[in-house]
Structure 1
Amino acid sequence: MAFTMVYETHSITVDNEIGIATGWLPGELSERGRELAAELGARRRKVDVVYASDLRRAVQTVEVAFGDGKEIRLDARLRECDYGIYNGRPVSEVAALRRRYIDEPWPGGQSYRQVVAETAGFLAEVREEWRGATVLVVAHSANRWALQNLLFGTPLEELVDAPFEWRPGWEYEVA
């Protein structure tokens, strides 16, 4: 039996607002990010469980959104791609290099293919535990690319080249 996955990226951070690619650095929600996180909680209050990346910006997003009102499970497999020595560098610099690191790890970090593998492991576990449920996942852009690759076969080359456009979530039926 399938489950419904509602996917949201973490809310807007100070780094997002100034054009920094945070990667595995913790990040901090901005004022606008806190407002959007509160809206997320109102929009998604009917989900059965919430999973989030264990990076601070995702944790802050779900804490502001739900407080103690939902079961929240943190999972390191939902972390953003580790850009290694490029964590904290300008988004423009990181974006220009993404294709190079689809299969080869970022120096001192990981590849996008490794993010896909982590996401696949997460999906397999959630699929077994939450059949028939609605699961909210709050993570990062690389994890959404991994989902698009795993569920629809969208090539990573296409995904990493596309500009990120924030929106209030994506819904997937996962068999």
Structure 2
Amino acid sequence: MAVEIVYETHSLTEDNEKGIATGWLPGRLSDQGRRFAVELGARRRDTDLAAVFVSDLHRAVETAQIAFAETTIPIRQDPRLRECNYGELNGCPVTVLATQRARHIDDPFPGGQSYRQVIRATCDFLRELAADPSVPSSSETDGTRVP
């Protein structure tokens, strides 16, 4: 069975506006981010989406809940869709993180993940989704499959 995927990021957060690399911290949408989430819903809610899959981080869940409020489209959380865990750098300025990125493609950030681990987690999710679109959900995954 073919699965068509539409990719959208979480909406604008307070940290984005302040130049903070949130990583695995929850984050909160800014006022503008909440407006963008409403626009996302207007753009996507009538396009025959079967489900919306989001990471379990607050900013992603908040984006989906605003965008797809008052619809019957299921919103499923999965920790494998989280952005990179910057470990000790979660919450640091983006300018600091930018100087470190190239060093952590294969080597994890101290106390966090490598970008390669993020890719593996996303691939694991996508393989599972392609095999059975009804399977991935937060109740069935705990995010520990990333080596």
TM-score w.r.t. length of structure 2? 0.86
Q: CA deviation at 1:32?
A: 0.3
For residues 129 and 49 of structure 1, the distance between their equivalents in structure 2, rounded to whole angstroms, comes to: 13
User: Which structure has the higher relative contact order (CA within 8 Å, separation 6+)?
Assistant: 1
Displacement of 1:68 after TM fit?
4.7
C-alpha separation in 2, matches of 1:107 and 1:21: 15
Matched with 1:12 is 12
- Of 51, 55, 58, the residue aligned with 2:57 is 55
Alpha-carbon separation, structure 1, partners of 2:84 and 2:95: 16
Encode CA deviations 1:88-147: one digit per residue, 9 max, x unaligned: 00001101110100000000000000001100100011101239xxxxxxxxxxxxxxxx
Distance of 1:118 and 1:43 partners within structure 2? 28
Structure 2: how far apart are the matches of 1:96 and 1:63? Answer: 34
Higher strand share: 1
1:98 equivalent to 2:133? Answer no
In structure 2, what is the equivalent of residue 32 of structure 1?
Answer: 32
RMSD over aligned CA atoms reads 1.2
Partner of 1:86: 89
Q: Aligned partners of 1:67, 1:13: CA distance in 2, in Å?
A: 19
Give distance in 2, aligned partners of 1:121 and 1:68.
31
Structure 2 counterpart of 1:33, one-letter code: G
Number of residues of Structure 1 aligned to a counterpart in Structure 2: 131
